[in-house]
Structure 1
Amino acid sequence: MITRRLLSFLFISYLRIATTTAQECSADDATCSSSSSTPDTTTNQEQCKDTHDNCSFWAKQGECDANPNYMHIFCPISCNTCPEPRQASTLEALLLIEVSKYGKSQKVEGKDAVKTLEVIERTVDYMKNVVFKGGVDLSEDIVVECTNKEELCAFWAAIGECEANPGYMKLKCAPSCQTCDMIDINKRCPPLTDDVVPALLPGGLNAMFERIVATAPGNNTDLEIAPGMTNYSVVIHSRPAPVEGEAVIDQKLDLEQPPWLITFNNFLTDEECEQLIILGHKSEYARSKDVGDLQADGSYDSVVSTSRTSENAWCSYQKKCRSEEVPQMIHERIAMITGIKANHSEDFQILKYEPGQFYRRHHDYIELQADRQCGPRVLTFFLYLNDVEEGGATNFPLLDIAVKPKKGQAVLWPSVLNSDPKAKDYRTDHEAQDVIKGIKFGANAWLHLYDYMAASEMGCT
């Protein structure tokens, strides 16, 4: 229902357009045709078509019901959800023109068209009478940044995504969610309070690795295997010297000793490896990207890098991949082994390296996260999902150690120091060496000092 105030505004806009209509006249026959910019009253409905090659496959896998917000819009033929043609009123068309001033033009189609138009009406009112009239205290940079970044922002807001997926929506669809103030990272992400307990305290990293080695069921045949656990064994490739008596917590001593690096044999079953590869295809592999420039909303852009040529897919919570049985079980297995809760882990980044692809020397620690709500990445748990015919090792050049891919194996290393879990341990630089023959599939689990999932939900990572 369009409010009287907005109706008046749109009517005035309509009159302004109508009275400035240009006339194009022919000198030959003295006839004139209007070139008015008055909008067509037919909705901007593109030809109904699937927009991805995997739509049919996903539909057969039940994704039309499991992930309707994406599938019904981008795979309408496969899901049988092509919208009925509808005729928009002139005022509705003007409303669409007005909302396009605040970002991308918005789509209004299908059974939620009325709800979507209501969101658009509220968006225009919010931007005109709150944001641009100083109803909220915003810097000029934030006002400029507050735009709808996607053409489906209004539709997503209409079906509840501002509440269901706030970390994305409140930043990328801020006008539709009426959250321009949340673009300011200082307001969105206040510092953690002192009562929040980190996953690791100074000295806790070494103690964790000692416990992992001592309790590996494959190394101790008398230990009972816990539910959801495999009969894995641990191989130590690098470690600091064992300490007799009370350990001294000192960064200088830390750097005088080698860092931890261990592998787990039989960490995953064959079925788990195969399922993760399938989920990678389902989540859609795309060119891997690196962290780019800082954005106005406090997030960082992602950039394609010549030093990284692999492809990856995110087994994310939003795509309902993380909550599937196998990923959930593996997250919990990692949590049981490390003693760090599963919500401290990022979603699995499932990787695919074809012959000639690589990731040159880098470090997993991201400096900007050290003081954010998630804290830095403290551990990398890398999973090998298949055997590779040749190449593809994970190489640690400063340690002179290369771990060859082996199906079901995992490798674990720290990104931080035992004496200070917020400080980067530069010695665990590593690279994914070129695959020479075959295809390499793997998965990263990055564990953070604090609750990553809670921070991610609010766009605070």
Structure 2
Amino acid sequence: MTKMLVLRAFVIVAIATAVAVYRGETNYLETKIMRPLTSILEPFVGGLVAPNDKRDTIDSKRDGDITKTEASETSQEPRKSRNIEVRFVNQWHAPTSLFWERSEDDWIQVAPSIVDEIGLGTFVGHRFMFTREGTRDQIGDEVEIVASQLVYTLPKNAKPRSEIDGPCTDRYPRRCASLAAHGECDENPGWMIVNCPSSCEACELLDPAKRCDPARLNISLEHIWSPGDLDKTFERIMRDFVHLKPRALSKPPDGPWLIVFDDFISDAESEALTRWGHTLGFERSTDSGVKNERGEQTKKVSQGRTSSNAWCRRDCEEDPLVDSVYARIEEVTQIPRDHYESFQLLKYDVGQYYHTHHDMSPRTRNDAAGPRILTFFLYVSDVQEGGETDFPRIDLRVAPRKGSAVLWPSVLDRDPWLQDPLTHHAALPVKKGVKYGANAWIHARNFVIPNKYACTGSVA
């Protein structure tokens, strides 16, 4: 029985591997096939798999002072199976994140925010670490799962590794040394400076004021627009892109510009964006918090939105179908692509929403990339009911329809450094079906270079 099960499993994996490689979806193979299959076979063939996806987080009041990590509360009856349910308890003075060591010094986040405690399915021998919420700044020591212990506690006196070892310390010593030796300090300077400053000999660049100085980055401080250019841009779009079927639902002097394109992206392009979202893996959307001393912007689970998202980077951006969408947006807006963030790929299931918010934060006006000035939102699926984009301050709603797009400004025509409060918007709950979309956010200044040096809050 066992041999037959294992044999069948290997046949399935062989077929799935061939299909995934042919499609270029190796990440999908790992997350959607290999991990579940390994979990099924675990009692028969052993081995380690990733922590279970299903996690129950218990939120309660924050308590405690800074302490050192230690494990506590051992079980009276150790489980015989290597598959084990454990609890991670946070007694530190602030919320934390939890990371799992996928391979040596390769840590992935499994819980973005632990206020009190979290239950997790894992395996004996797996290693975890607590970090400051939304960052990779480790607190205390790593913990290794043992069969005799079901609760692992971060006590009140735990100290961040950066406070113990000093600021210019590699977070992952073995991995950092290897990455630096392979040229990653030049290839991915932002991530490496923030996480591996010692190996990159870049201690002075830990200070974001030095690292992100526009003169050092060789980027202009000028806004892409002068006063009056916003209106000219939208007037040109309405005039020159009739083939995309633009409709101005709102325009000056009665309100801000709001253009819907009824025919903006093809079915193939829509399906490529959706496929990449699943390949990369949709994760619960987060909100941005404050920046720490290294310029990392903390991430916390959002209470205002319940969607999931993935970021279209590297292989996704190089997909010819995705590239063609970028090129079309660039042609329409006449703003170079180096002003764009990577596509944020979105998924809204039934009941999911994003409460009223604004895409431009006034505090970003002094950032190296400047503020967001335009949002180009792409609808890449039909929705049976609900899921409209709502603009409550101008009393307009845009229904999602596959292949369409909506464009609006986040700033004012008379002063493109200032937020236009009329373009606050919300994603209304999906009532029936699934909503897939993609956000293209466009900045006042070059975004790509500051983002490469971890000057936009994101350290990817």
Q: Counterpart of 2:198?
A: 175
Residues 274-423 of structure 1: pairs in structure 2 closer than 5 A = 274-317=271-314, 320-423=315-418
Please list the CA deviations of residues 289-324 of structure 1 after superposition, one character each: whole Å capped at 9, or x if unmatched.
11112211123111111111100000013xx22122
Q: 1:144 aligns with which of 158, 166, 169?
A: 166
Shift of 1:199: 1.8
Whole-Å separation in 1 of the counterparts to 2:267 and 2:202: 46
Structure 2 alignment gaps of length 5 or more: 1-15, 39-99, 107-161
SS of aligned partner of 2:401 = coil
Q: Decide whether the 8 Å contact of 2:226 with 2:416 is kept in 1.
A: yes
Measured after TM superposition, the shift of residue 194 of structure 1 is 9.1
User: SS where residue 321 of structure 1 aligns?
Assistant: helix
Deviation track 1:244-267 (CA, whole Å, cap 9, x = no partner) reads: xxxxxxxxxxxxx51111100110
Is the CA contact (8 Å cut-off) linking 2:376 and 2:406 kept in structure 1? yes
Separation (CA, whole Å) in 2 of partners of 1:141 and 1:371:
29
CA deviation vs aligned residue, 1:30-78 (integer Å, no higher than 9, x gap) = xxxxxxxxxxxxxxxxxxxxxxxxx9575554467x99xx99xx99x99
Secondary structure of 1:406's aligned partner: coil
2:248 to 222, 236, 248: 236
Does 2:236 correspond to 1:263? no
Aligned residue number for residue 454 of structure 2: 459
Amino acid at match of 1:206: D
Residues 316, 322 of structure 1: 8 Å contact kept? yes
Task: Quote the residue 1:43 is aligned against.
Answer: none
Written as runs of structure 1 = structure 2, the 5 A alignment for 1:51-200 is 59=21, 61-62=23-24, 107=104, 144-150=166-172, 152-191=175-214, 197-200=222-225
Instruction: Assess, with a 3 A threshold, how the Cα gap between structure 1 residues 155 and 366 changes in structure 2: closer, same or farther.
Output: farther
What aligned pairs does 1:20-39 form with structure 2 within 5 A after superposition? none
- Asked if the contact 1:386–1:442 (Cα under 8 Å) also holds between the matched residues in 2, the reply is yes
Superposed CA offset, 1:97-132 (max 9, x none)? xxxxxxx999389xxxxxxxxxxxxxxxxxxxxxxx
In the TM superposition, what is the alpha-carbon distance from 1:174 to its structure 2 partner?
A: 1.8
Please say if residues 148 and 173 of structure 1, whose CA atoms lie closer than 8 Å, have aligned partners that are also in contact. Answer: yes
What secondary structure sits across from 2:326 in the alignment? Answer: helix
Q: 1:144 to 1:362 in 2, by over 3 A?
A: farther
TM-score by length of 1: 0.63
Q: Which SS does the other structure have where 1:334 is aligned?
A: helix
CA distance in 2, matches of 1:62, 1:437: 31
Structure whose residues are more often strand by fraction: 2
- Partner-residue secondary structure (3-state), 2:415: coil
Tell me the distance in 2 between the aligned counterparts of 1:199 and 1:261: 20
Give the direction of change, closer, same or farther, for the CA distance of 1:236–1:108 in structure 2 (3 Å limit): closer
Q: 1:147 offset after TM fit, Å?
A: 3.4
Distance 1:457 1:381 in 2: 22
Code of the aligned partner of 2:225: L
Partner Cα distance (2:428, 2:328) in 1: 28
Q: CA–CA distance in 2 between the matches of 1:422 and 1:279? A: 34
Query: How far 1:155 moved relative to its partner?
Result: 2.9
Q: CA deviation at 1:172?
A: 1.9
Contact 1:349/1:443 (<8 A) preserved: yes
- 8 Å CA contact 1:142–1:184 kept in 2: the answer is no
Kept after mapping to 2: 8 A contact 1:143/1:180: no
Equivalent residue of 2:382, what SS? Answer: coil
Asked whether the equivalents of residues 267 and 408 of structure 1 are also in contact (C-alpha less than 8 Å), the reply is yes
Corresponding pairs, count: 317
Letter in 2 for 1:278: R
Q: CA deviation at 1:159?
A: 2.3
Shift of 1:376: 0.5
TM-score (norm 2): 0.63
Inter-partner Cα distance in structure 1 for 2:367 and 2:255: 28
C-alpha distance in 2 between matches for 1:410 and 1:149: 42
2:228 is matched with which residue? 203
Tell me by how many angstroms 1:386 deviates: 0.5
Deviation at 1:235, TM superposition (A): 0.6
Instruction: List, as ranges, runs of 4+ consecutive aligned residues in structure 1 with deviation greater than 6 Å.
Output: 140-143
Partners of 1:395 and 1:163 in 2: how far apart? 43
Q: Which has the higher helix share?
A: 1
Question: Out of 236, 239, 257, which is 1:214 matched to?
Answer: 239
Alpha-carbon distance change, 143 to 326 in structure 1, aligned in 2, over 3 angstroms? farther
Is 1:438 the counterpart of 2:460 in the alignment? no
Matched position secondary structure for 2:213 = coil
SS at match of 2:318: coil
